[in-house]
Copies of this chain bind each other. A is one copy, B any other.
Amino acid sequence: MDDETLSRILKAAGDTTRRRILTLLVQEGALRVTALAAHFDMSLNSVSKHIKVLEEAGLVTRRTVGREHFIAAELEPLKVTEAWFGDLKSIWELRLEALEELLVAKDDDNAPTGNARSGTARNGTA
């Protein structure tokens, strides 16, 4: 997955209006631009621009039928993003496990202060 893509997704999701749009689409299915705009105290144009941002991030797709544009949420980017956060958590937990092992191994040498979470790695704790 492109790092640039992830940035676009997160930036798109970083705006309240856009998150609300996404939520609306997810719970109500595809909606027209006007229908979406009706939910917001904001010009239709602005909503249209927000949709464009979501579209460029791949969070939303557009199906044009006649003069009406139906906007639908896209599930895949959500998974990808969730995965990034999940990976980060995994690395974290792996490192914590390693730390704990170290502490347990040293247990008879010097009694550690406990609390592996604040007593961080080779750099952190003085």
Contact = CB atoms under 8 A, between A and B. Distances in A.
Interface of A: 3-4, 6-7, 10-11, 13-16, 19, 22-23, 26-32, 35, 63, 65, 70, 72-73, 75, 78-79, 81-82, 84-86, 88-89, 91-92, 95, 99, 120-126
Nearest to A9: B14
Copies of this subunit: 2
A8 B65 CA distance: 37
Given A10-B11, A78-B85, 20 more contacts: A6-B19, A11-B11, A11-B14, A26-B91, A26-B92, A27-B91, A27-B95, A28-B95, A28-B121, A29-B123, A30-B124, A30-B125, A35-B123, A72-B120, A72-B124, A78-B89, A81-B85, A82-B85, A82-B86, A82-B89
Nearest to A82: B85
Contacts of A14: 7, 10-11, 13-14
Given A30-B121, A86-B82, A121-B28, A75 B92 contact: yes
Contacts of A84: 19
Contacts of A35: 123
